Amino acid sequence: MDKHVGFIGLGNMGLPMASRLIDAGYILTVYDPRPEAIEAASAKGARAAASPAEVASAVEVVLLSLPTPAVVRDVALGPQGISAGTKVKTLIDLSTTGARTAREIASVLAAQGITAVDAPVSGGVAGAIRGTLAVMVACPRRLFADLEPMLQQFGKVFFIGERPGMGQTMKLANNLLSATALAATTEAIVFGVKAGLDAGVMVDVINAGSGRNSATQEKFPRAILPRTFDYGFTTRLMYKDLELCREEAAEASVPMRVADAVRQLWFEVQEEIGPDADFTTIVQMIERRAGVEVKRS
């Protein structure tokens, strides 16, 4: 595989992933609508492009790391998008778009001889920096063998299946559990603090017991107990993922009663705390209603 690839979307997740490819010896042609993001990548040795189409005219493989399905659809299929490129053969989408968007993009690109690879990632900004993400790949098996060495720069790579959208379904299931764990853990810790327990001790006990989860092991110690609220993922994006999960579960006639309750809670967080707030600020909403503050003593 040619080690000159394209990368579009240099945000909280995209820039560290692009940086890992550069550090591994890949040559990158990059695009982001924000000049400062392109400058940051260029400082690491990337080549700047003026549009997604220009990226797709320079390389055969393009990776995307973008925030919403609408943005991914525009970058992939818009008039200055990937589909307007003259050289691209493979589009790898690392974003979370939902299976329907993945299937739509794959169908349109296939008619132009471009293979769409559905490859969402999980593990947060820290995982993107450390190269410890979970990469959930859906694409033809033979293509997976070619791409795996590159994708391993991001973390542990899983072959989910060959049909477009299978990686997205896996990612939405994962994010439902992540959102549920953080919401439930927040309520449990606030409940304990209101009763007089120490929040730090609670987290330590839970991590030694059967209640441990990604929120107690990572999010509370790193961003909630120290009150930094800087984990690197917004309430807007969390709610977006839960809404995608709801829509696709409804289409599949799968009842999601717990998911519906969790989605409603995250909607309230987005409305009350703000859509661009870090998603660990969910604790602030529950604290306000309980009249306590969760912090390390």
Q: How large a percentage of the chain has pLDDT more than 70? A: 100
What is the model's pTM?
0.93
In angstroms, the first-to-last Cα distance of the chain is: 53
CA distances to 122, 228, 232, 235, 268 from 277, in Å: 19, 12, 9, 6, 13
Tens of pLDDT, residues 62-120: 999 999 999 999 999 999 999 999 999 999 999 999 999 999 999 999 999 999 999 99
Q: Do 147 and 175 lie in a common domain? A: no
Average pLDDT of the chain is 97
| CA-closest candidate to residue 105, choices 121, 116, 94, 92 | 116
- Ranges of beta strands (E only) in 123-176 are 133-138, 155-161
What distance in Å separates the CA atoms of residue 126 and residue 241, rounded to the nearest whole number?
20
pLDDT higher than 90, residue 296: no
3-state secondary structure at position 236 = helix
pLDDT at 1: 74
Q: Do 183 and 151 lie in a common domain? A: no
Tens of pLDDT, residues 208-220: 999 999 999 999 9
205 torsion bin: left (phi>0), alpha (psi -120 to 50), beta (else)? alpha
Tens of pLDDT, residues 183-206: 999 999 999 999 999 999 999 999
Q: Do 147 and 235 lie in a common domain? A: no
Check if the beta carbon of residue 165 is closer than 8 Å to that of residue 189: no
Candidate list 3, 89, 171, 194, residue with the active-site label: 171
Q: Do 72 and 12 lie in a common domain? A: yes
pLDDT at 107: 97
pLDDT higher than 90, residue 263: yes
pLDDT at 60: 98
Domain boundary among 162, 193, 223: 162
The answer to whether residue 171 is catalytic is: yes
Query: Per the domain annotation, does 207 fall within a domain?
Result: yes
Query: Per the domain annotation, does 261 fall within a domain?
Result: yes
Q: Do 224 and 241 lie in a common domain? A: yes
Q: Do 173 and 156 lie in a common domain? A: no
CATH number assigned to the domain comprising residue 203:
1.10.1040.10
